[in-house]
Amino acid sequence: MRKTLSIFFVSMVSSALVFSAQAAEKGKGSIKKSEYGKTPDGKAVDLYTLTNAKGMVAKLITYGAICTELHTPDRNGKLGDIVLGFDNLQQFQGEHPYFGSTIGRVANRIAKGKFTLEGKNYTLAVNNGPNSLHGGLKGFNRVLWKAEPREAKDSVAVKFSYLSPNGEEGYPGNLTVTVTYILTDKNELKIEYTASTDRTTILNLTHHGYFNLAGEGDILGHQMTLAADRFTPVDDTLIPTGELAKVKGTPMDFTKPMAIGSRIGQLTNDPRGYDHNYVLNKGDKKLGFALRVYEPKSGRQMELYTTEPGLQFYTGNFLDGSLKGKYGVIYKKHFGFCVEADHFPDSIHHPNFPSIVLKPGEKYQQTTIHKFSAH
């Protein structure tokens, strides 16, 4: 089995290197549009392949505004796909843990699927124990987005747009939202979000990529630095208690470089692994450093910068070997990690958390940058 996986990985790298050489010859990035499949009601789903001047590749589909592949170089310059997912639309339309998806209207959990806004009560689908998770039964990860390719001097991009009608999944307001994936010649994947509403609503968007900088195996040896002195403790259904607790002296502390798996066995509230929201030191709204992850074997490094106040760190605790992903790989526990830049879970019920309320006339804006290098 390992030999088979190696063949898939070598084949993937070889084809990507050819792509890299072609891009380098031109000295600029490129955008390629192709068919990816059709939804059950016959609507076409498109695939956009972004390649920058250095040969880095990002692949995105209009279904769910999903990033299906992300090829970055290791210390030897060889490209490898570092995100989990599938190689066909059918699997993305089936049940899966939000691989590479755009999440909305509200990322993370809302307690008991209920909230009150301007004196009116709203009820959402309960799809995660007693709570509502990641936008409900048909969140933004399961809708068809309109796509507009864009080219600039030092980047290539795809702008996705969607109109979420009033009442969709129980949320108020007609919401116009855009998500733009920008691949720069600095080997950055920049994600820019905007939104506006005609009625007061709540909104918390994020990207739910599962990363593995080695390209295979578990992620427990990845070295992580997370710029957060505090986190939000949760109850047994993963809803915050409201406390902002210090990470110092606990397995939650990644303020200095630490292997992800070095203290994972010390977690008491969730022995399966990390699934916690961190309160970023950089504060709210301003773009700032949040995270650095380094994988020693490949030499790949990812840094994350965001305007968001929080970062949900998740270690793929519920990957159980039941899903076969790209290149025939069986996804097992801890085979990928997620770093979701967003507002805190269940913010609507915690006045001391940064607000996720969006009113008419206001403009929602968010920028999150994943910067890749190798050494």
Q: What is the mean pLDDT of residues 18-33?
A: 65
Q: What is the mean pLDDT of residues 106-128?
A: 98
Q: What CA–CA distance (Å, rounded) separates 160 from 146?
A: 5
Per-residue pLDDT tens digits for 152-189: 999 999 999 999 999 999 999 999 999 999 999 999 99
Owning domain of residue 165: 2-374
Local confidence band at 22 (pLDDT 50, 70, 90 cut-offs): very low
Average of per-residue pLDDT values in the chain? 93
User: Looking at 207, 340, 350, 370, which residue is catalytic?
Assistant: 340
Tokens for 40? 């059950």
Q: Please give the tally of structural domains in the chain.
A: 1
Residue 273 is which amino acid? G
Burial class of residue 93, CB neighbours in 10 A (0-12, 13-18, 19+): middle
CATH number, domain containing residue 208: 2.70.98.10
SS3 content of the chain, % helix, strand, coil (to 5): 15, 40, 45
Per-residue pLDDT tens digits for 208-224: 999 999 999 999 999 99
Q: What CA–CA distance (Å, rounded) separates 243 from 330?
A: 38
Tokens for 87? 């190689």
User: Looking at 71, 134, 207, 208, which residue is catalytic?
Assistant: 208
Let me know if 340 is a catalytic residue: yes
At residue 78, the 3 state secondary structure works out as coil
Local confidence band at 26 (pLDDT 50, 70, 90 cut-offs): low
Let me know if 208 is a catalytic residue: yes
Within 13 Å and on the Cβ side, how many CA atoms surround 315? 26
At residue 85, the 3 state secondary structure works out as coil
